[in-house]
Amino acid sequence: MNAAINKKRMIEWLDPNEMHEASLKWMSELKFIRDEQLFLNDLVKSYTLQLTDSEFFTESKEIIGAISTAEKEVIVLMKKVQAHENQLEIMLDQIDQLKMEKAYTETHWELNTEMNRYSVHYRELKSHLFKLVTKVMKKDKRNRLLN
């Protein structure tokens, strides 16, 4: 109950400029993540043979599938943020449209929550992939030293 009241107060206090800045920040983060995903794809391609080794296959298949899903999600999020940014005019047009303005601010908070959730999940995925590639590299190095 208390959290709902606090959220409502925060929604009422949001300034259109603050929402605009947040939207720009989200889009910047999402573009960075897209670029980073290209790097991760190259990394996976570089170690494809090692990742398909029976020791790592199940784990690598799971992570690569999750990264593919994250790539699709980032595109959906980018479209949502862009649409949200395009609708900012509702807040700036000097026309009292209370229902639309309230819906816009609620959408803003929903996007904020979704962005936070996605960021946390993506960082965990990335960390998991780096740990897996590190294991693969260590195994590869041991094999070279033994031969």
Q: Determine, yes or no, domain membership for 56.
A: yes
Instruction: Report which of 60, 76, 72, 75 is spatially closest to residue 125, judged by C-alpha positions.
Output: 60
Q: How far is CA 127 from the centre of its chain?
A: 14
**Is pLDDT of 7 > 60?**
no
Distance CA 78, CA 80 (A): 5
Distance CA 123, CA 47 (A): 20
Provide the pLDDT for residue 5: 47
Distance CA 63, CA 40 (A): 11
Q: Determine, yes or no, domain membership for 33.
A: yes
**Is pLDDT of 94 > 70?**
no
Provide the pLDDT for residue 70: 95
Q: Determine, yes or no, domain membership for 11.
A: no
Provide the pLDDT for residue 125: 95
Q: Determine, yes or no, domain membership for 32.
A: yes
**Is pLDDT of 1 > 90?**
no
Q: Determine, yes or no, domain membership for 58.
A: yes
Q: Determine, yes or no, domain membership for 97.
A: yes
Q: Determine, yes or no, domain membership for 130.
A: yes
Q: What pTM, to 2 d.p., does this model score?
A: 0.80
The C-alpha angle 122, 125, 127, rounded to 5 degrees, equals 110
Q: Determine, yes or no, domain membership for 10.
A: no
Provide the pLDDT for residue 126: 95
The C-alpha angle 90, 91, 97, rounded to 5 degrees, equals 65
Instruction: Give the count of domains, the chain.
Output: 1
pLDDT tens digits for range 123-146: 999 999 999 999 988 888 777 777
Q: Can you give the residue range of the structural domain that contains 34? A: 16-146
